Amino acid sequence: MRIAVVGSGYVGLVAAACFAELGHEVISIDNDTSKIEMLQRGEVPIHEEFLPELLQRHRGKQLQFSSELPEAVRKSQAIFIAVGTPSTVHGDADLSYVEQVSREVAGAIDGYKIVVEKSTVPVFTSHWIRRVMLLDGADADSFDVASNPEFLREGTAVGDFLYPDRIVVGADTERCATLLRQIYEPLTSGEYYNRADIIPNTTKAKTPPQIIVTSTKSAELIKHASNAFLATKISFINAVANICEAVGADIKEVCQGIGTDSRIGTRFLNPGIGYGGSCFPKDLKAFSSVARETGYDFRLLQEVMSINADQRARFLRKVRSALWTLKGKKLAVLGLAFKGGTDDIRESPAIEIVRSLLKEGCEIRAFDPAACDRSREVLTEDGICYKASAYEAAHQADAMLILTDWPEFAQLDLPRLKTVMTYPIIIDGRNLYDPRTMAAAGFIYSSVGRADVQTPVARTNGKAEKTATAAPGKNQ
């Protein structure tokens, strides 16, 4: 099928590349001509596993890049809208980009098309897209508007697209639903998984996936409700972790005990410094705004957001507790992206924590495998420098902070790390290490929802010797 994908950000570019991988003829559209030129040269603007391979495989063949939307509309049977929907000052979604694209599509339609929301949008957006297109002269029988929400996790977005838990299609006519079924048929029929050159399944999702056909309103609500529920799980387990710290329990053991319940599951039960990124913060605000407009006070969402904000403040208190005073302290920071596997720093808790530490007079030596360049654009304050490795960042540091869950941060050479640091202090916001391992390695170690490891200095025969112990109960 001939498909146009409008917007070449995280969602749009991954969708375009994956549709091409499924055998469709795809045009990726963006009004940023410099980005289009970059993609035409084969350069990849975002860090995403398997995306470079797909672009190299299909660029100039199944996948074209253009800034000419009207031409792409005329050539395509389906137009997916994947433009940004940032939060306004009031917390609702800014749909001005969606409206602009809808008007341009309306002016270019020359036969039956389906216009598909791929961006995360509030309920009733499909209604407004249709209304705008009719007002701009599109014939009522020449198009249908559908909702096809994405459930992609940054860092594993290609795998999530090709090996989804489910495919949700919101369509209000059978003609529209049939076209969307055809678009995803290589996945739902299992045909794609029989190929020899497929992208490997790293998500452990079952194949072939189920396709769920709903109304457009239901599909729009499914996306917001899904993200709100996942964010609720994160805030819930962070709240439980805070209780664990107060009573001396181990959050890892608690997570195992509740996560093995099939009704709950282990995913997203990962205590830390809170959620971030381009989806959860924005979508919870937008969902709360939608609820408010319907007359419902969704207080649970407010508490989820409040717990998330408090988790960052609690982490800063851990840093102060470990170091006493912060002014002039040299801190190694591992991780700037909001999660491992991506270079996205939007709403990153790591960035917010670094800003707070810089305001308190700390010197920050930061390392992230992918997000340093993007971080330079937003962290313009004095007092931060970027290093090429975790060990360079740790050199002569008074303490190390782990802020992003990159797998390589969980495999550091602890003896080497202890040698290069001024003081063996690690505050782990992602619980990447076992406290007993850190105690045996001689580190002062603080994590989330578990007892701190203290390394007191004892005097033996006039010589200072360090003995690592796990501190019971509440953080010191």
* Residues identified as active-site: 279
Query: What DSSP designation does 281 have?
Result: H
Say how many Å lie between the first and final Cα of the chain, rounded: 62
> Measuring CA to CA, which residue among 223, 211, 29 is closest to residue 117?
223
Of the CA atoms within 13 Å of residue 263, those in its CB half-sphere come to 0
Phi-psi region of 36 (alpha: psi -120 to 50; beta: other; left: phi over 0): alpha
What is the spatial distance between Cα 125 and Cα 116, in angstroms, rounded to a whole number? 11
How many angstroms separate the Cα of 317 from the Cα of each of 109, 142, 194, 398? Answer: 57, 59, 53, 16
Q: Which token pair is 84?
A: 């940004």
Mind giving me the DSSP string for 164-215?
-SEEEEE-SSHHHHHHHHHHHHHHHTS-GGG-SSPPP--S---SSPEEEEE-
Please tell me whether residue 59 adopts helix, strand or coil conformation.
strand
What is the spatial distance between Cα 178 and Cα 468, in angstroms, rounded to a whole number? 64
> Measuring CA to CA, which residue among 313, 373, 387 is closest to residue 344?
373
Radius of gyration from C-alpha coordinates of the chain: 25
Q: Are 292 and 285 in contact (CB under 8 A)?
A: no
Q: Which residue has the tokens 């990153």?
A: 348
What is the spatial distance between Cα 153 and Cα 344, in angstroms, rounded to a whole number? 11
What lies within 8 Å, CB to CB, of 426 at 6+ separation is: 399, 400, 401, 402, 433, 438, 443, 444, 445, 446
